[in-house]
Amino acid sequence: MNKKEDCIFCKIALGEIPCDKVYEDDNFIVFNDIKPIAKGHCLVVPKKHYETLLDMPSTLGTEVIDLVKKQGLRLMKEQKAEGFNLVQNVFPAAGQIVMHVHFHVIPRKEGDGLRMFEKKDDK
């Protein structure tokens, strides 16, 4: 287990600090975001510490995609969502705050008003 001291998601993965866990297996943990942007917003997180997507072995890719699909389908059922966003921020310039790679799964409904990325005018 490559844990990084003072990494909040490493601590969550090891059960050292609590989370609202929705799923766990050997390589991943899924828990609800502490500040959800929509009800059910959850995070798919590898248990090992990789700072960004660029550090995560691509061999985990299939597992991640399977888990994202599973969580998206769960949210469509449980939250009656009509769709979901998969968001993955790489480096602070792109909005990454927690430097332990994680995948946001965000339930969406028609007309929910959530605007993920504001497009700039061409001006």
Pairing verdict, β 21-24 and 28-32: antiparallel
- For 48-94, give the DSSP string: S--SSTTTS-GGGHHHHHHHHHHHHHHHHHHS--SEEEEE---SGGG
State yes or no: is 102 an active-site residue.
yes
Minimum gap (Å) between residue 30 Cβ and ligand 5GP = 10
| Nearer Cβ to ligand 5GP (19/105) | 19
Q: Which does 115 bind (CB under 5 to 8 A by kind): Zn ion, ligand 5GP, none?
A: none
Q: Which does 49 bind (CB under 5 to 8 A by kind): ligand 5GP, Zn ion, none?
A: Zn ion
- Calpha distance 60→65 (Å, rounded): 9
| Nearer Cβ to Zn ion (54/113) | 54
- Calpha distance 59→57 (Å, rounded): 5
How many chain residues touch ligand 5GP (CB under 6 A)?
11
The mark string for 3-42 relative to ligand 5GP (x by CB under 6 A, - otherwise) is -----x----------x-----------x-xxx-------
